[in-house]
Structure 1
């Protein structure tokens, strides 16, 4: 299964991606996590992106596409993956198709959520930014900036993937288990799940 999860910051992509990765035994590839690990390791890439991430800026298409292509080439992604946070632009989507070569995505799931609820969620996340283990870029200013950037740059992806017959939209404001069941049902219809319905986790 090769799945892309679309949705703005705070829509719940990470929650669903982790669950799907465990359920289908494929890696959850979060571009945010990959970049933060590079920053923590003080790699050349980490030093390049650190200031941009702290400011809530998006990483340029070429850099992030190169990072993702390198990660997809690793052995654990050979039989599938869950991509969370990439692609964000049509240029990145084209780069992903190039990286996959003869393979194709199983599905693209977009978590839809009201803008007002999204801002409430990012504000709630920002309130815990000072707690132990909180992400350095989880503050009100950067979260709002990331949300505005998503709305501006990522919405054309829906039409891009809809045109390829890959897009499936679901209500991201529904309860977590309800969203999970809806995604499972869709994956069964498009051949992304090779097993009967599993009990809820």
Structure 2
């Protein structure tokens, strides 16, 4: 906890935090494109410069927490701080603090975004991950096209392909096998429930069902955060 406290003290008042079970930053919407009103009220529309931005991203491995948190941090100009390893170390140290006390004291969180994606798409994304063994770049060769059934919408996610000079140098992570990925998803779903309930009970959890890739999801995420006109104003001022 001392390490987390030092990290938070060094950060500016406006910041974003990320981890796996208390992971990344910012906000979302439900499958109906509106937050559940009995649990959550969307942040007031105001310039992010005039308020602290202390948002956390939750979500399964491969859902895109880092991608969306980084884009939002760049948009409104706040740091993106990854605290997952620090939290896991504190929980494993068998110190005097319970997991709830750690969640309470890591930082005064304003908003927690729970990113969700169909398991079929999550599995394909994880199995499609590739790393360039020369430049270290992260790419994804999966082209996800899920047909809608029984009135549910379909989903398309385009691959994130490397430049031509990286194509022959791609490698797969040793743990990106179907069996391992399915087990990671099972463990995450089991262990994340208390974290989700912790923030839900405090009216700070916002569910966001990703409708597709970045082109489809990014505008809807900004709407859920009441930031849909902020990007337009910033572009116009540039």
Residues 136, 124 of structure 1: alpha-carbon distance in 2 compared, 3 angstrom cutoff:
closer
- Gaps of at least 5 residues in structure 2 are 1-52, 139-171
Post-superposition offset of 1:153: 0.4
How many residues get paired?
A: 144
Pairs within 5 Å for 1:68-147: 92=99, 94-100=101-107, 104-125=108-129, 128-129=130-131, 131-132=133-134, 133=136, 139-140=176-177, 142-147=180-185
Partner of 1:3: 55
Pairs within 5 Å for 1:156-171: 156-171=194-209
Once residues 31 and 144 of structure 1 are traced to their aligned partners in structure 2, the CA distance between those partners, rounded to angstroms, is 24
Partner of 1:26: 78
Post-superposition offset of 1:117: 1.6
Post-superposition offset of 1:173: 4.1
* Larger relative strand fraction: 2
Post-superposition offset of 1:105: 1.8
Post-superposition offset of 1:137: 6.4
- Between structure 1 and structure 2, the one with the greater Rg is 2
Once residues 122 and 147 of structure 1 are traced to their aligned partners in structure 2, the CA distance between those partners, rounded to angstroms, is 10
Residues 137, 169 of structure 1: alpha-carbon distance in 2 compared, 3 angstrom cutoff:
farther
Once residues 111 and 230 of structure 2 are traced to their aligned partners in structure 1, the CA distance between those partners, rounded to angstroms, is 18
Once residues 112 and 172 of structure 1 are traced to their aligned partners in structure 2, the CA distance between those partners, rounded to angstroms, is 6
**Partner secondary structure for residue 111 of structure 1:** strand
Over aligned residue pairs, what C-alpha RMSD do you find?
3.6
- Gaps of at least 5 residues in structure 1 are 36-44, 46-57, 67-90
Residues 196, 177 of structure 1: alpha-carbon distance in 2 compared, 3 angstrom cutoff:
same
- Residue 129 of structure 1 contacts residue 139 of structure 1 at CA under 8 Å; is this kept in 2? no
- Residue 6 of structure 1 contacts residue 13 of structure 1 at CA under 8 Å; is this kept in 2? yes
- Residue 137 of structure 1 contacts residue 143 of structure 1 at CA under 8 Å; is this kept in 2? no
Once residues 115 and 202 of structure 2 are traced to their aligned partners in structure 1, the CA distance between those partners, rounded to angstroms, is 18
Once residues 100 and 225 of structure 2 are traced to their aligned partners in structure 1, the CA distance between those partners, rounded to angstroms, is 20
Q: TM-score, normalised by structure 1?
A: 0.57
